A = this chain, B = another copy of it.
């Protein structure tokens, strides 16, 4: 400890003495934050309830509303200064009966394959020959001649040699999001997309898709197929070009319904007009229970405010937790929150989102200017004892994106990404895949950053 202090003193060049004690105080306060999160954390118990007692929380569903009520009640029990619901109209897409699909290589030879409708897909029952492509860019070359009446099979895999798996996701998610809209233009009758999963397994992964400006009459059903079955289908097509794929999707887009962002606040003691928010999204897909996406971010964000209360840290600035509704298929909650913030002339100095899974935190990504980033980087050494090394510039989070105004500093927690797409948007995103310590370390890491932002501002 003596050695540590000497190092700090040398680092600061002895002046001002104030800074030395301030740095020491910060490191002690951050130690208290991690201790409380790891020894007496609440995030894991909250997530247990959200995942196991409530379950998947697709926008507009009964479970989504239960999640709103539950988290509001839990925030109220923390004794925050204010807790409220922010009304927002959300789309209501329902899956209907479970999808079915098989590959037919002859009249007596069918094999079932595991699929799931993409979120937003229309219903439909289709049997047709299949054209395999490696992405939207292949469609123009094939043209209407080869695609009309066919099912387009988008089979571009996630690139396994990218270290950040979100980069691999970004590299092929367009085929899921816009594949149906593009394939329909060439007369395709359906779309089957390889699941966004780096692993070979039997889970189909859903996710949002859009028909863009395609007229309703031209829309075609779209589903995702498990990676194992994508490999199978691709193999069959090499052997037998005219093999047929049957698939049925039973989903429906209903009218928008009212839902809510859940918001809790500790009002700042010195600068109440400077607002700091932490958040995640309360909705999830309807597969699994949404533990990693984004139950983890929800409970970590709640834990940030709980830790402030529990440790008796009174923020100088106003500290809010925002649990956004409808990130997965509309971003209505994020848009609504930003719209209201603007309307109310609120000054958000900092927004932090956790929406990349409840895995061991590695650091943060910041969407901000040079001066603010330099200030943040000066705090980096305070995180090293907790093995938090990554302070990079880049994106933040979808829900806080609409707050971007060139002034507000936006940030995203960056957990280890290696396992995320084993779970994302599938039946495999369940509570048993959450490690309590990893979840708690994420919450503590977020709290430490918020503590510093609150103390020093921008």
Contacts of A35 in B (CB 8 A): 161
Closest to A390 in B: B387
Within 8 Å of chain B (Cβ to Cβ): is A24? no
**Most chain B CB within a 10 A radius of its CB, from A38, A161, A360, A385:** A161
Within 8 Å of chain B (Cβ to Cβ): is A218? no
Cα of A69 to Cα of B165 in the assembled complex, Å:
37
Cα of A430 to Cα of B205 in the assembled complex, Å:
26
| Residue from B389, B419, B438 within 8 A of A389 (CB atoms) | B389
Cα of A34 to Cα of B162 in the assembled complex, Å:
9
Within 8 Å of chain B (Cβ to Cβ): is A435? yes
Closest to A386 in B: B163
Q: Closest Cβ of chain B: how far from A53's Cβ, in Å?
A: 19
| Residue from B39, B387, B419, B436 within 8 A of A199 (CB atoms) | B436
Mask, A144-178, CB within 8 Å of B = 1, is 00000000000000001101110000000000000
Within 8 Å of chain B (Cβ to Cβ): is A422? yes
Within 8 Å of chain B (Cβ to Cβ): is A362? yes
Contacts of A161 in B (CB 8 A): 34-35, 38-39
Within 8 Å of chain B (Cβ to Cβ): is A99? no
Within 8 Å of chain B (Cβ to Cβ): is A29? no
Q: Are A163's CB and B199's CB within 8 A?
A: no
Cα of A39 to Cα of B157 in the assembled complex, Å:
12
| Residue from B362, B387, B419, B441 within 8 A of A438 (CB atoms) | B419
In the complex, besides A163-B385, A419-B438, 12 extra interface pairs with C-beta distance below 8 angstroms are A34-B161, A35-B161, A38-B161, A163-B386, A163-B387, A198-B437, A362-B387, A387-B390, A416-B416, A418-B438, A418-B441, A419-B435
4 nearest CB pairs, A to B: A389-B389, A38-B161, A35-B161, A418-B437
